[in-house]
């Protein structure tokens, strides 16, 4: 049971930190707790998805042990993702278990990325577990367009969740995928809304992962173009602010808020990559944009101690590539990576 893991004493000695062959320390772990989601965003997954059988997923106890092994190896930031993490049954049990690493000081941040649909229900519990900051994905403030982009989503419920998060003391960052001919003319108004509510806004280029029933080249909007358009109306000043992820931030003079750009295609961020991802089945991906992966579920289940798991993690980090191979153009119609974003974790 998770209670047993919470009460189990920490390892006497800190294991060696995780450093790849390019000298990059891995201090940030993103873990997908489920591939399921209550939305079907057009850039993320197909409308009629086939999800993994539940028996293939790691249990919450196994997820706790896996995350804890990475924390012991120097991971300081842990983000739970999906799919939609808050649709995983009893997921708050996992948050409560992992919060012990916050209390011990081994973990600097425990956070999540969510579509916001379940936030009204869970915001107070998340804050009680030591979560200070969350990312909420919203690509438009138009309710009808929101429904079209997410296929199933209700913007009103998401806004209710954001209000609950603010009331619970959580700092909310809004993530928006920039979509050509869909929301590109709304970005300035979204930024004004987010900053007016005290939220940072990060813009993300669409990524070529998985077949989604849409042409990526028709969705792709370069953020270099978006920035140039914004600079016709706003004063954007580059700042050193970082959250541990790939966003590069500017401060917007007119709003006083921060705007982040996540640019895997126009300006990749591989040289400083400190992240790895684990799927809900225990597969470790050393790079979001590469297929090379390592099975951590087998060593995790083979023995009660972490010796085999540590060896598997070490071997995987040794193979972490220098960078990804993302490309979107008319000649490259197949996704760079066939797995969906919901499988890897957002």
Annotated binding site: 30, 37, 41, 43-44, 79, 83, 113, 137, 173, 207, 270, 273, 275-277, 287
Asked if 90 and 60 count as a contact pair (C-beta separation under 8 A), the reply is yes
How many angstroms separate the CA atoms of 299 and 316, rounded? 13
Vertex 95: Cα angle to 131 and 291 (nearest 5): 95
Q: Would you list which residues are annotated within the binding site for [4Fe-4S] cluster?
A: 37, 41, 44, 270, 273, 287
Q: Would you list which residues are annotated within the binding site for S-adenosyl-L-methionine?
A: 43, 83, 137, 207
What are the DSSP calls for 194-230, one per residue? Answer: HHHTT-EEEEEE---BS--SS-HHHHB--HHHHHHHH
How many angstroms separate the CA atoms of 253 and 259, rounded? 11
How many angstroms separate the CA atoms of 217 and 32, rounded? 27
Number of Cβ within a 10 Å radius of residue 190: 18
Expressed in percent and rounded to 5, the helix, strand and coil fractions of the chain are 35, 20, 50
How many angstroms separate the CA atoms of 160 and 162, rounded? 5
How many angstroms separate the CA atoms of 59 and 94, rounded? 10
Q: Would you list which residues are annotated within the binding site for GTP?
A: 30, 79, 113, 173, 275-277
Determine the straight-line distance between the first and last CA of the chain, rounded to whole angstroms.
27
Phi, psi of 274 (to 5 degrees): -120, 20
């Amino acid at each position: 049971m998770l209670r047993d893991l919470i009460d189990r004493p920490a390892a006497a000695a800190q294991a060696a930190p995780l450093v790849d062959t390019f000298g990059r320390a891995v201090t940030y772990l993103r873990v997908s707790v489920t591939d399921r989601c209550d939305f079907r965003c057009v850039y993320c997954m197909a409308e009629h998805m086939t999800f993994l059988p539940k028996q293939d997923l790691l249990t919450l106890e196994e997820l706790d042990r896996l995350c804890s092994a990475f924390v012991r190896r120097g991971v300081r930031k842990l983000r739970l993702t999906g799919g939609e993490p808050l649709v995983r049954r009893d997921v708050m049990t996992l948050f409560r278990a992992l919060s012990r690493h916050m209390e011990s000081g081994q973990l600097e941040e425990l956070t999540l990325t969510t579509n916001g649909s379940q936030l009204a229900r869970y915001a107070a519990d998340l804050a009680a577990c030591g979560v200070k900051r969350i990312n909420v994905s919203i690509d438009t403030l138009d309710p009808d367009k929101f429904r079209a982009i997410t296929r199933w989503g209700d913007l009103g419920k998401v806004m209710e969740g954001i209000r609950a998060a603010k009331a619970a003391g959580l700092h909310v960052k809004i993530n928006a995928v920039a979509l050509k001919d869909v929301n590109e003319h709304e970005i300035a108004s979204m930024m004004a809304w987010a900053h007016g509510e005290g939220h940072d806004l990060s813009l993300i280029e669409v990524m070529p992962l998985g077949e989604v029933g849409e042409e990526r080249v028709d969705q792709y909007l370069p953020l270099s173009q978006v920035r140039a358009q914004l600079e016709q109306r706003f004063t954007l000043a580059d700042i050193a602010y970082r959250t541990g992820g790939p966003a590069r931030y500017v401060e917007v003079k007119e709003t006083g808020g921060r705007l982040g750009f996540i640019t895997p295609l126009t300006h990749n961020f591989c040289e400083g990559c400190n992240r790895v991802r684990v799927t809900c089945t225990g597969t470790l991906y050393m790079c979001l944009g590469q297929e090379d992966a390592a099975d951590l579920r087998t060593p995790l289940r083979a023995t009660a101690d972490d010796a085999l798991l540590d060896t598997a993690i070490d071997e995987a980090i040794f193979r972490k590539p220098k960078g990804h191979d993302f490309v979107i153009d008319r000649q490259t119609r197949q996704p760079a990576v066939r797995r969906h974003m919901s499988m890897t974790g957002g």
